[in-house]
Amino acid sequence: MAVDRLAVIGIGLIGGSFALAAKERRLVRHVVGVARSQHTRDAALECGAADEVTDDAATAVRGADLVYISAPVGATEPIMRAIAPHLSSDTLVTDAGSTKVSVMAHANALLAGHCVFIGGHPVAGSEQSGPSAATADLFIDRTYILTSAPDTPADRLDWLRKFIAGIGARVIICDADQHDQLVAATSHLPHLLAAALSGALADLAPRSGDLRLFSGTGLRDTTRVAAGPSDVWRDIFLDNRDNIRPPLEAFRARIDAFLQAMADADGDALCALLDEAREFREGLNDQ
Amino acid sequence: MAVDRLAVIGIGLIGGSFALAAKERRLVRHVVGVARSQHTRDAALECGAADEVTDDAATAVRGADLVYISAPVGATEPIMRAIAPHLSSDTLVTDAGSTKVSVMAHANALLAGHCVFIGGHPVAGSEQSGPSAATADLFIDRTYILTSAPDTPADRLDWLRKFIAGIGARVIICDADQHDQLVAATSHLPHLLAAALSGALADLAPRSGDLRLFSGTGLRDTTRVAAGPSDVWRDIFLDNRDNIRPPLEAFRARIDAFLQAMADADGDALCALLDEAREFREGLNDQ
């Protein structure tokens, strides 16, 4: 099961945590971390996520058994283009992008014949970023989705499934289309709403006094994800915009129902809307 | 400073925590808790929030130095009507309602001449409810807003300010109008969005597979408040609906800006929107 050489391209919070988790469980012997900034490379060495660092992905992947691409999804295509000629057909390449349809298409166009590619999406993270925020426990009991192509060798998929389970995650294997639709609803729309709410409060702040003084844990929780990295979320919103529409329409219909019930002073209708919301939310605690 | 008899009308999470906090700091000698259900009365005695319980608010307030009304805001008027004849002019009555304009108006109509009333709003709580979830630490470092009328005696306001500070809260004294506008933006709108999101996901669930399986901490945080008690939030939405409109419009304008940037594939515009959101959100951590 153990990997001799793991190359992590983009060794930040996710990539760094993946390396730390695999090292702690002795699933990997040597990690080479790739980052553009000297500061990130230094931090990756400092926290022990990487044994070796470089700014050159092509160098890093040479001789690697496992390559982990952990970068904003918009960077996936150029990274694949850069590493393709340096991969061996034995190498397994996976990624940690939050969308999968475009990633699978890029892999099919750029990596086929060079290596085996299996898409990945760890449903884990925090609003922090960088390898200094990385932790070996990040994936424990978290959902980790893998997406494969029809021609993915079953034994390699099974191997990666076991490797990911080995770092504590609950692995789900699904179709890239289905993945992108589901995460549009469970992750991308919630992020959009949190960012729009934070932005709206920033807009109001000058004329409504100090909103921050009046804020409690409810507002902090509701907007927490809006502190996430802008480049990562820019790419997600661009890549998955079509799938965000249907759940956004369902959300708008709910807002309209609330407004109608308020305009009608219909307490029973409001209670029904609130009860349905609470029932769904309480179900999340059982996961 | 210490109070001989505190009556808590509606001894749930907030009322129970207020009693526990005051008792722990020896700011109160005897607490009588009022609740309609036997189960809640038993729980209030069990957790030590109340020394004595009853289902009759009129009995409870007789001889009380301090009366704490902690109930859905829609119940404030009937409670005030019921207790008014049984109050002494020395009694200080306060409440924990999340809206203040209507509460101050009811107090002016029903309690003037019977006692001194000062409105209160602890910006604290959780999605849990009931006295068994109460804790003496609930108000520590939390904002606690007091609203007074022009004829409120300054010495009584000052006394209550010190009492609330004594249970660890950060007291803000402000005008009821300003209060209701600010909390519409920082609390009521975020709750509306969380409930609309939870409801929308419940709507989608049958046709999009198991959304819960794909959910992470981001969704749990964004929707956490939606697990709150429906009757409390029904009353807030009915009472403060006019003030929710302006921040909701600001939110919708932000959503439209995001959608436009996505439609234009304008990464810079998306980054600017995300950066503004992140900047506001990071400011909340400094509070």
| pLDDT tens per residue across span B200-231 | 999 987 665 578 888 888 999 999 999 999 99
Q: Supply the pLDDT for residue A209.
A: 57
Both structure tokens of A44: 């990756």
Task: Name the residue type at position B111.
Answer: L
* Contacting residues of A for B208, CB less than 8 Å apart: 181-182, 185
Question: Mean pLDDT, to the nearest integer, of A241-266?
Answer: 97
pLDDT for residue A98 is more than 80: yes
Q: Supply the pLDDT for residue A1.
A: 72
Q: Supply the pLDDT for residue A243.
A: 97
Per CATH, B3-175 and B178-284 having the same topology is answered no
What is the tens place of the pLDDT at every residue in B88-111? 999 999 999 999 999 999 999 999
* Contacting residues of A for B234, CB less than 8 Å apart: 267, 270-271, 274
Q: Cα(A148)–Cα(A138) distance, rounded to whole angstroms?
A: 23
Question: Mean pLDDT, to the nearest integer, of B15-30?
Answer: 97
**Alpha carbon A85 to chain centroid, angstroms:** 27
* Boundaries of every domain in chain B: 3-175, 178-284
Superfamily grouping for domain A3-174: NAD(P)-binding Rossmann-like Domain (3.40.50.720)
| B8 bridge partner residues | B33, B68
Q: Cα(B146)–Cα(B6) distance, rounded to whole angstroms?
A: 18
- Confidence label for A287 from pLDDT (cuts 50, 70 and 90): low
Cβ neighbours around A231 below 10 Å, total: 18
Please choose, from the candidates A105, A95, A127, the residue with its C-alpha nearest in 3D space to the C-alpha of residue A224. Answer: A127
ipTM, interface predicted TM-score of the complex: 0.90
Q: Do A274 and B250 touch (CB under 8 A)?
A: no
Question: Mean pLDDT, to the nearest integer, of B193-201?
Answer: 97
Architecture of domain B3-175: 3-Layer(aba) Sandwich (3.40)
pTM of the model: 0.90
Q: Supply the pLDDT for residue A207.
A: 62
- Confidence label for A285 from pLDDT (cuts 50, 70 and 90): confident
Architecture of domain B178-284: Orthogonal Bundle (1.10)
Q: Do A247 and B200 touch (CB under 8 A)?
A: yes
Task: Name the residue type at position B234.
Answer: R
Residues 66-95 of B with CB under 8 A from A: 74
Task: Name the residue type at position A99.
Answer: T
